[in-house]
A and B are shown apart, each in its own frame.
Chain A
Amino acid sequence: MIGRQEYTALVRQASPRTNEAKTLFAAFCVGGIICMIGQAVSDVFTEFLPLDEKSIAALTGMTMIFLGALLTGVGVYDKIGYHAGAGSIVPITGFANSIVSPAMEFHSEGIIFGMMARMFGVAGPIIVSGVCSSVVVGAIYYLVGVAV
């Protein structure tokens, strides 16, 4: 029997040493580039569409999600993600990737219990925590507003 700490030490020794500086640099660059693409999309929409700021922001997010889903579909996004790590996870395109990727993988298990159910393996926690926290924030603001 070995203790938990010894085990962790062993795992650390055995797992392949990724060059940490390299992963950080890749995440920084890829994340930065994805955000610049988002900014460009937003700038183009602002220039050519007669919409208010909020709609532009929503549309930009939707466009980035579309791009993330498409690139995942054609198999490019996961290749980027292999090198970029968090650089491809943290942007909203990564959210799209987290939905499309398992949906594709479990296609063979059927449409309903394969795709539709598995789509939310990663997205589920995000949606649940996001919606719940927004309700908390809304309720606090409402109560403070009523009290004042």
Chain B
Amino acid sequence: MILELMGKYGRVFLCGGLVCLIGQLLINKTKMTSARILVTFLLAGVILEAVGVFEYIEEFALAGATIPITGFGKSLAAGAIEGARIGLFEACTYGMRAVAGGLTAAIVFGFVFALLFRSKSKTA
């Protein structure tokens, strides 16, 4: 039981770490900005899900694949694919629907915490 848990979390750590290491390599080698890195990884997630590879990676890596921004892209693509089975309108909107929770959280928490806290660098 404990060994199983260790193996699972070890996998998550290794895979999640590897994704970030690739990101750091890109920063070091190409001086990419963080926005570019995030967009690249997001699109990688979208494409991997669209071609049907992401679920195999996720099966092994678990949160190591879904917590990086690649997981956000995966949810978008998975939603769109699900919607495509229903109709064209759903194909276009279900991607957004799939990430509605995450986006709402990001916007609301982002706004609230920015209201509550002041930037240290500016007030100091």
Contact = CB atoms under 8 A, between A and B. Distances in A.
Interface of A: 18, 20, 23-24, 26-36, 38-40, 42, 57-62, 64-66, 69-70, 72-75, 84-87, 89-96, 98-101, 103-105, 107-108, 111, 115-116, 119, 121-123, 125-127, 129-131, 133-135, 137-142, 145
A65 B105 CA distance: 7
Contacts, number: 281
Contacts of A33: 13
Given A31-B23, A86-B26, A129-B39, 11 more contacts: A23-B27, A60-B63, A65-B109, A87-B24, A95-B72, A98-B35, A105-B119, A111-B115, A115-B115, A134-B46, A135-B91
Interface in B51-93: 62-64, 66-69, 71-73, 75-77, 79-81, 83-85, 87-88, 90-92
A140 B60 CA distance: 28
A131 B114 contact: no
Given A89-B37, A94-B38, A127-B103, A134 B63 contact: no
A61 B20 contact: no
Given A36-B13, A134-B76, A129 B116 contact: no
Interface of B: 8-9, 12-28, 34-35, 37-39, 41-43, 46, 49-50, 62-64, 66-69, 71-73, 75-77, 79-81, 83-85, 87-88, 90-92, 94-96, 98-99, 101-107, 109-111, 113-122
A6 to B, nearest CB: 17
